[in-house]
Amino acid sequence: EAGVAQSPRYKIIEKRQSVAFWCNPISGHATLYWYQQILGQGPKLLIQFQNNGVVDDSQLPKDRFSAERLKGVDSTLKIQPAKLEDSAVYLCASSLGAGLTYEQYFGPGTRLTVT
């Protein structure tokens, strides 16, 4: 079974530029999560999708971050414009569905550096 795929793996941009991350979840997984992990901290949930609908985006800074999951499969997370404090690893995870399983499967993450 193929795991969660993410790209790019690394990205360096200047502040005020824009950036986009892509995630392909495990086939058949209905729930998709985007997390932000700052160095020395645990992952923080940014947004949760169930199929192509948003379940929770309460911690997504909507003035600069946006995310979509077209057709209930792949997802993109965008930051525009980026700030220095956005430097972090962005993790995508998927699961069969909330309530069906507790386990989330993670991709390798995208390390973003904003200079």
Partner 1 sequence: DQQVKQNSPSLSVQEGRISILNCDYTNSMFDYFLWYKKYPAEGPTFLISISSIKDKNEDGRFTVFLNKSAKHLSLHIVPSQPGDSAVYFCAAMDSNYQLIWGAGTKLIIKP
**78-105 as b/e: b if 16+ CB within 10 A:** ebeebeeebbbbbbbbbbbeeeeeeebb
37-96 residues in contact with partner 1 (CB under 8 A) are 40-45, 48, 55-56, 91, 93
Q: Which is nearer to partner 1, 17 or 37 (CB)?
A: 37
Q: Which is nearer to partner 1, 35 or 65 (CB)?
A: 35
Residue type, 37: Q
Q: Which of 68, 85, 98, 115 binds partner 1 (CB under 8 A)?
A: 98
Let me know: does 82 contact 114? Beta carbons within 8 Å. Answer: yes
Residues 4-43: x where in contact with partner 1 by CB under 8 A, - otherwise, as a string: x----x------------------------------xxxx
Among positive and negative, which fits the CA dihedral 23, 94, 49, 33?
negative
Q: Which residues does residue 30 pair with via DSSP β-bridges, in sequence order?
A: none
Interface contacts to partner 1, rule CB under 8 A? 4, 9, 40-45, 48, 55-56, 91, 93, 98-99, 102-109
